[in-house]
């Protein structure tokens, strides 16, 4: 390897670690300092921070493509009865790749910052089709062997499984060094579900938890109608649009004022600073979603029914508050993994979820391997979130059925 190539790889590895731990706010000066070189030497290899980002994403996709190629080769002539090991093995390999390329994973899950080049936008928006195709073939082998039960949408499952495994690189699980244990638990949930007895859709549809969540969701639109014509509400709606479209960092009060049809001074008088405006939007979002959580958890329902209602809440929240999620993702893209979330409190949600899983396990309603209560709650929380593209293309009801087939019943034949 040439000296130039070795130094270039060192810069990329260092930048990847800094981006993963400190967010995209990391400067070129900080990267140069961590490499022990002057900024001028760094510019000899990369003209900008964006060029580093582009190369990191390329390396990540190249490794995913290589994993796909290996998986497809191993499938040829393999015993179909080994499909469960093949699914877990490929899932674990994807998770380990995602952790190695944590910074690149963030760039591909979150929208590129405003002003990003066409190259970065195209690259970040690229679908990892090769690894999804390999996962689909692996699942088909599982279906043909009878391991995966009939009636499961394998294409949707392949997409969901790959996204779930890639999530491991986003930082949510960054305290867990045993990536294979995290990946194994996620696979086990998707394959076998957490319900001791597989619940039927008709039973879940009439649960008290689901009805309680739906009552809360009806108030979301009622609250919006009550705010019509209200200047603060008009400003918040304009800010939601601008923050979601351009990102919080680069949106100005002037942009928001123009979108709201008001003067900049008028927005300052009504709302105050941009930080106060963000807090107001995300507080309203948090309160609405947490009202749904509290309704589900406070209902007279089984632990499995409560989990189902939470999955339905998450699907509808993603659909209804898409802009808030974009704002949240843009914030997370810029920030270290431990930064306080501008949305609802993850620590509070995890406490609720740990208590729910503990109650369900004691009552015998839930069966799940538990490496640790914290890891288990994180994994269950992660799989109750349905990827946006599935909700958008399949619809909310189909997304709920898929959530039930994976989180609760599991896709494997019992």
- Mean pLDDT in residue range 125-144: 94
**Which DSSP string corresponds to 270-332?**
HT-SHHHHHHHHHHHHHHHHHHHHHHHHTSS--HHHHHHHHHHHHHHHHHHTHHHHHHHHHHH
- Is the pLDDT at 197 greater than 90? The verdict is yes
Which among 259, 294, 328, 363 has a CA at the least distance from the CA of 111? 328
Q: Give the model's pLDDT for residue 113.
A: 63
Alpha carbon 409 to its chain centroid, in Å, reads 22
Q: Tens digit of pLDDT for each residue in 243-300?
A: 877 667 678 888 888 888 888 888 888 888 888 888 788 888 888 999 999 999 999 9
The answer as to CATH 1.10.357.10 being correct for domain 201-367 is yes
- 278-292, 317-331, 389-403, range with the lowest pLDDT: 317-331
End-to-end CA distance of the chain: 52
Q: How many other CB atoms are found less than 10 A from the CB of residue 265?
A: 10
Backbone angles phi, psi at 386, to 5 degrees: -95, 130
User: Which token pair is 398?
Assistant: 């189909």
C-beta pairs of 254-263 under 8 Å, 24+ apart in sequence: 260/234, 260/235, 261/234, 262/231, 262/234, 262/235
Length of the chain: 414
Alpha helix locations (H) across 101-207? 102-109, 118-124, 129-144, 154-167, 179-192, 201-205
Domains 1-47 and 54-192 belong to one CATH topology: no
**Which DSSP string corresponds to 367-393?**
----S-HHHHHHHHHHHHSPPHHHHHH
Q: Tens digit of pLDDT for each residue in 7-26?
A: 888 999 999 888 877 777 78
- Mean pLDDT in residue range 130-147: 96
Class at the top of the CATH hierarchy for domain 1-47:
mainly alpha
> Domain spans of the chain?
1-47, 54-192, 201-367
Which among 157, 213, 216 has a CA at the least distance from the CA of 387? 157
pTM score, whole prediction:
0.86
Side-chain half-sphere exposure of 76, counting CA atoms within 13 A: 5
Q: How far apart are CA 286 and CA 378, in angstroms?
A: 19
SS3 148: strand
- Mean pLDDT in residue range 381-399: 93
Alpha helix locations (H) across 247-273? 253-260, 264-270
Class at the top of the CATH hierarchy for domain 54-192:
mainly alpha
- Is the pLDDT at 192 greater than 90? The verdict is yes
């Amino acid at each position: 390897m040439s000296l130039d190539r070795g130094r270039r790889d060192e810069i990329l590895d260092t930048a990847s670690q800094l981006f993963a731990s400190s967010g995209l706010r990391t400067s070129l000066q900080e990267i140069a300092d961590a490499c022990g070189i002057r900024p001028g030497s760094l510019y000899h290899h990369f003209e900008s921070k964006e060029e580093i980002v582009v190369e990191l994403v390329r390396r990540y996709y190249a490794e995913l493509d290589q994993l796909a190629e290996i998986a497809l080769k191993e499938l040829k002539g393999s015993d179909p009865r080994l499909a469960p090991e093949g699914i877990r093995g490929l899932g674990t390999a994807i998770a380990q790749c995602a952790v190695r390329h944590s910074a690149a994973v963030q760039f591909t899950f979150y929208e590129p910052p405003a002003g990003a080049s066409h190259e970065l936008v195209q690259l970040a928006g690229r679908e990892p089709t090769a690894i999804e195709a390999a996962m689909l073939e692996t699942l088909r082998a599982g279906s043909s062997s009878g391991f995966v039960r009939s009636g499961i949408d394998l294409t949707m499952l392949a997409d969901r499984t790959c996204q779930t495994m890639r999530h491991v690189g986003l930082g949510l699980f960054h305290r867990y060094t045993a990536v294979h244990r995290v990946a194994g638990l996620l696979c086990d949930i998707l394959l076998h579900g957490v319900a001791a007895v597989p619940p039927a859709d008709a039973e879940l549809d009439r649960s008290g938890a689901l009805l309680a969540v739906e009552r809360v969701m009806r108030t979301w639109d009622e609250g919006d109608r009550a705010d019509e014509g209200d200047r603060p509400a008009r400003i918040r709606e304009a800010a939601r649009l601008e923050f979601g479209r351009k990102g919080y960092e680069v949106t100005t009060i002037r942009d928001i004022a123009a979108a709201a049809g008001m003067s900049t001074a008028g927005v300052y008088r009504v709302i105050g600073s941009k930080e106060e405006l963000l807090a107001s939007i995300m507080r309203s979002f948090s309160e609405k979603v947490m009202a749904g959580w509290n309704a589900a958890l406070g209902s007279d329902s089984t632990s499995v029914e409560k989990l189902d209602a939470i999955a339905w809440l998450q699907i509808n929240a993603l659909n209804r508050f898409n802009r808030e999620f974009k704002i949240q993702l843009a914030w997370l893209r810029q920030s270290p993994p431990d930064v306080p979330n501008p949305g609802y409190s993850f620590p509070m949600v995890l406490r609720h979820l740990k208590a729910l899983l503990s109650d369900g396990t004691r009552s015998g309603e839930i069966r799940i391997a538990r490496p640790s209560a914290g890891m288990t709650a994180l994994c269950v929380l992660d799989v109750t979130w349905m990827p946006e593209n599935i909700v958008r293309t399949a619809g909310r009801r189909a997304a709920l059925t898929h959530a039930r087939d994976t989180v609760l019943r599991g896709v494997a034949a019992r």
